[in-house]
Structure 1
Amino acid sequence: MVGGGEAAVALAPRVAVWGALGAVYRAQLSRARVARIPLLFVATFQSVGIMVLMRGVVDGGGDEARAVVAGSAVLVVAFVALNLLAQYFGHLRAAGGLDHYATLPVPGAAVALGTAAAYASFTVPGVLVTAVVGALLYQLPLGGLWVALAVVPLAGAALAGLGAALGLLAPRAELATLCGQLGMSAALLLGVLPEPRLPEPARWLRDLLPSSYGVDALAAALGPRPDWGSVAANLTVCAVVGALALALATWAYRRAAVR
Structure 2
Amino acid sequence: MTAGGLQRLPLIDLRARLATNPHGGPATTVPLARKRGIVIHYHGPAIPPDADEVAVLQAAARYHVARDWDEMPGNGLHTAGDGLMYHLAVGRTGALYWCRDVEAVLWHCGAWPANAEALAVLVLIGGDQHATAAQLAALRRLCDTWRDLGHGDEVWGHQELQPTSCPGTLMADFVLPYREGRRIGVAYGHYFTETGHFVGGAFWEYWQRHGGLMIFGYPLTEEIVEDGRTVQYFERAVFEWWPENRPPYQVLLRRLGAAALAARETTPTS
Taking structure 1 as the reference length, the TM-score comes to 0.26
Q: Which has the higher strand share?
A: 2
Taking structure 2 as the reference length, the TM-score comes to 0.25
Q: Which has the higher helix share?
A: 1
Structure number with the bigger relative contact order (C-alpha 8 A, sep ≥ 6) is 1
